[in-house]
Amino acid sequence: MFAHELDVPFTLEVVHDLASVDAAAFGGNPMLKVPTLQVGTTSTFGTENICRSLVEHAGRSGDRRIVLAEHLADAVVRSAQELVWSAMLAQVQLRVGIAVANLPANNVFFVKAAAGLTGAFAWLEARLDDVLERLPAPRDLSLLEVTSFCLIEHVAFRPTVSLEPFPRLREFATTFGARASARQTLFRFDPPHKGDTP
Ligand SMILES: N[C@@H](CCC(=O)N[C@@H](CS)C(=O)NCC(=O)O)C(=O)O
Distance of CA 184 to the CA centre of its chain: 15
Average pLDDT value over all residues in the chain:
95
Q: Using CA atoms, how far apart are residues 26 and 146, in angstroms rounded to an integer? A: 23
Q: Whose CA is nearest to atom 15 of ligand 1?
A: 33
Q: Whose CA is nearest to atom 16 of ligand 1?
A: 33
Domain ranges of the chain: 2-57, 67-183
Q: Using CA atoms, how far apart are residues 35 and 61, in angstroms rounded to an integer? A: 21
Mean pLDDT computed over 124-140: 98
Distance 138 CA to ligand 1 centre (A): 31
Pocket of ligand 1 (CB under 6 A): 18, 32-35, 46-47, 92, 96
Ligand 1 atom nearest 35 alpha carbon? 20
Residue-wise pLDDT for 151-181, tens only, equals: 999 999 999 999 999 999 999 999 999 999 9
172, 148 contact by CB (below 8 A): yes
pLDDT at 192: 77
113, 90 contact by CB (below 8 A): yes
Half-sphere exposure of 59 (CA within 13 A, CB side): 1
Sort strands 36-39 and 42-45 into parallel, antiparallel or unpaired.
antiparallel
Q: Whose CA is nearest to atom 20 of ligand 1?
A: 46
pTM of the model: 0.95
Phi and psi dihedrals of 53, rounded to 5?
-65, -40
Residue-wise pLDDT for 71-109, tens only, equals: 999 999 999 999 999 999 999 999 999 998 999 999 999
Domain 67-183: CATH class, spelled out:
mainly alpha
Ligand 1 atom nearest 26 alpha carbon? 12
Q: Using CA atoms, how far apart are residues 108 and 106, in angstroms rounded to an integer? A: 6
